[in-house]
Amino acid sequence: MNQSANAPWLGRKGLPRIFAWIDHQFIGVLALVFIMGGMVASEAMMSMGMIGLTASAVFNNQFRRNFQYFLQHKALVALTCVFFIYAVSGLWSENLGWWLDRLRMKLPFLLVPFAMVAIPRLDRTLYLQLLYAFLVWIALAALHSLLLYALNYEAITYAYREGRVLPTPVQHVRFSLMAAFAAAIGAYLWREHFVWRYAWERRLILGLTVFLAVYLHVLAVRSGLMALYVMIMYYAGLLVWKQRHFALAGLLAVAILSGGALAYRYLPSFQNRINYTLYTLRMFERQEQIGELSDARRMGSLYAGLDLLRQHPLLGIGIGDIRDATDAWLQAHYPSLAGLQLMPHNQFLLVGAATGVLGLLAFTVCMMYPWLYRGAWRDTLFTSFHLLVFTSFLVEHTIETQLGTAFYILFVLMGLRYFDEGQNPPQENVSWVELLYKKEKSAPNLE
């Protein structure tokens, strides 16, 4: 007997009919907006977006079909494996509390790759609109940061001599990375001739891109600046390789060299930041008063990570014990840096010290695979994002915070789902919101 005949609230597959009424396209896009907004506004908002995206995937009348598609999608599975690399290291971790905390931080790698499959479509127009929204959002946050600087100019400029930076909406290193990527988005949208509605938006996009590049020099956070320069060098290389624009590539190279020199000459925050770095290097070499110097903490943690990897090359110390082991090493070699709950300030080194060479190799493959998936590296923005991330991995444990994890997982998955357009699992139900997204596949060409 048909089960739905006895239970009218069930569909023909035995699932609640309400699952068929859920508009997963609308919920999914709304969740992405929440995650983007939460990166600057609120961690709670960011978490709500991830929870909403996951709930849309779970309460779905096409759950089985989406899950089968997910298992066949090697790039999504590779991202999910990052969670299991951390999970397995718990077998030889003594501090299970910290291990569980690291797993909690990596839950988006377990849940969100599959959850993204529940969004029926992420076509070119929608993808570029989401990128545009992020560009504007980050530019507004940067403008607010500059206004705070203007209101407290003397105090904040002096604070740069002590290693502090101007106020940012969220942790300054992660925000600098978001600002650098937003600048790359602006260059990408301008090159793609994108506008949401009006022709003057192209000038706005170009203006926001230049503004963010200047802001990064005022903010003077090395992670963001290094990522920006690496992306500019990548674009310069493309101009030479693909289009033989030697003159324009040369101008970009000059911009890199002159930009730093001009910033040092005319931006007190940038100048004080450079001087503070040089001062830290001298003090660290002498081991004098290094406990209060943020750069000294970074260097000490790197030495600790290298030695831990040397002592435990095969399987590592265990992700649950990485913080305790780093602190113990610092206590023995740099006592003034002990007790600060440090971990190696290099994502690759942290993973290597925690999971050994085998874990580091698996982690690197998992992080590289989405970039290489089906020629995704040919997309300039997707490659720019990976250059930014891998550059930050060299000087930060970027994905060991909720914000860093959300930033990485969101834009990798958005890129992958955009490249998958036309290869999504077939959708049986078309909702009223479908009409909202039936737009042209290509952005208007204004030239």
Q: What is the pLDDT along the chain (447 residues), one digit of tens a residue?
A: 455 445 444 445 555 555 555 778 889 999 999 999 999 988 889 999 999 999 999 888 888 899 999 999 999 999 999 999 999 999 999 999 999 999 999 999 999 999 999 898 889 999 999 999 999 999 999 999 999 998 988 888 887 777 778 889 998 899 999 999 999 999 999 999 999 999 999 999 999 999 999 999 889 888 899 999 899 888 888 877 766 667 766 777 777 767 777 777 767 777 777 777 777 777 777 776 676 777 788 889 999 999 999 999 999 999 999 999 999 999 999 888 888 899 999 999 999 999 999 999 999 999 999 999 988 999 999 999 999 999 999 999 999 999 999 999 999 999 999 998 756 665 544 443 444 444 444 444 433
Q: How many residues does the chain have?
A: 447
Give the pLDDT of residue 16.
55
User: What is the structure's pLDDT at 422?
Assistant: 58
| Tokens encoding 432 | 């009223």
Matching residue, tokens 């490249």: 419
Segments in 287-335 forming alpha helices (H):
294-311, 322-333
Could you tell me the residue ranges of all domains in the chain?
22-437
Contact 437, 123 (CB under 8 A): yes
CA distance 408 to 109: 10
pLDDT at residue 430 in the model: 42
Cβ count near 201 (within 10 Å)? 17
Could you give the C-alpha distances from 333 to 285, 297, 303, 446, in angstroms and in order? 13, 12, 10, 62
Sign of the Cα torsion 237, 388, 304, 313 reads negative
Residue among 44, 284, 40 nearest 171 (CA): 40
Closest CA to 208 of 264, 128, 137: 137
Residue whose C-alpha is closest to residue 269's, from 179, 171, 168: 168
The whole-angstrom separation of Cα 408 and Cα 397 is: 12
pTM (2 d.p.): 0.87
Q: What is the pLDDT of residue 268?
A: 76
What is the rounded distance in angstroms from the CA atom of residue 441 to the CA atom of residue 435? 14
Alpha helices in 41-171 (DSSP H): 43-58, 63-72, 74-88, 96-105, 107-115, 124-151, 153-159
Q: Is 314 helix (H, G, I), strand (E, B) or coil?
A: coil
SS3 132: helix
Query: CA nearest 41: which of 127, 151, 168, 156?
Result: 168
Q: Which backbone phi and psi does 59 adopt, to 5 degrees?
A: -90, 75
Residue type for position 253: A
**408: DSSP letter:** H
User: Sign (positive/negative) of CA torsion 352, 354, 355, 356?
Assistant: positive
What pLDDT score does 394 carry? 93
> From CA 13, how far away is CA 2, in angstroms rounded?
10
Q: Is residue 16 helix, strand or coil?
A: strand
Q: How many CA atoms lie within 13 A of 56 on its CB side?
A: 26
